[in-house]
Amino acid sequence: MKQGFTLMELMVIIIIIGILATIGLSQYEKVVERGRAAEAKTILGDLRTVEEAFFLENDAYTDNMALLAVEAPQACTPTHYFKYSLALGGLPDTFTATATRCTAGEGGKVPAGSIAYQVILDEAGFWDGTAGYY
C-alpha cells in the first residue's frame, strides 16, 4: 500500500487554508481598526470635557480648538490616526466634536487599505458616526 496524499487532496487542503486565512485576515483588520477608533473616542471625550469647562467659565461653547488645551490635531499627523474638528450647533449651547479618519494622501498614520470614517460626539455625550466604529 502506498502512503501519503494525492495531489488533489493537497490542493483541496491548500484551498481550504487559503479561504480560512482570507476570512481571518479581514476580521483581524476590522478589529484593529476598531482599536484605532479608541484613539478618537478618548480625544473626543477630552474635547467634550474641556468644552464643558469652557462653557462654565464663558457661558458659551467655542469652535476654536486653540483655546482648548487638548492635543487634538486639526490635520493628519504622523502621531495620530485622526484629524479633529469642532462645530457649533444650530441651536444655542450645542456643539459637535468630530474625528475623521486619515486616509492615503493626507499624511498621518495611514496603513494600506484604510477606509475613511467618522466618530462624532456632541455636548450631551451622544456618540454617532460611521456604523461599526463608534
Going from the first residue of the chain to its last (134 residues), give the mean pLDDT of each consecutive group of 10, the final group possibly shorter.
83 94 86 86 93 92 86 86 89 88 73 79 91 73
91: which DSSP letter?
S
Domains in the chain: how many in total?
Answer: 1
Residue 123 lies in a domain: yes
Residue 42 lies in a domain: yes
Q: Which secondary structure element, helix H or strand E, spans residue 48, and what is its range? A: helix 7-58
Residue 2 lies in a domain: no
Residue 134 lies in a domain: no
Is the entire prediction scored with pTM above 0.95? no
**In this structure, which amino acid lies at residue 30?**
K
Residue 113 lies in a domain: yes
Residue 77 lies in a domain: yes
91 near 60, Cβ under 8 Å?
A: no
Angle made by CA atoms 133, 129, 50, in degrees to the nearest 5? 100
Domain that includes residue 30, residue range: 7-129
Tell me how far apart the terminal alpha carbons of the chain are, to the nearest angstrom: 60
Residue 71 lies in a domain: yes
Residue 16 lies in a domain: yes
Please give the Cα distance from 69 to 71 (Å, whole number). 7
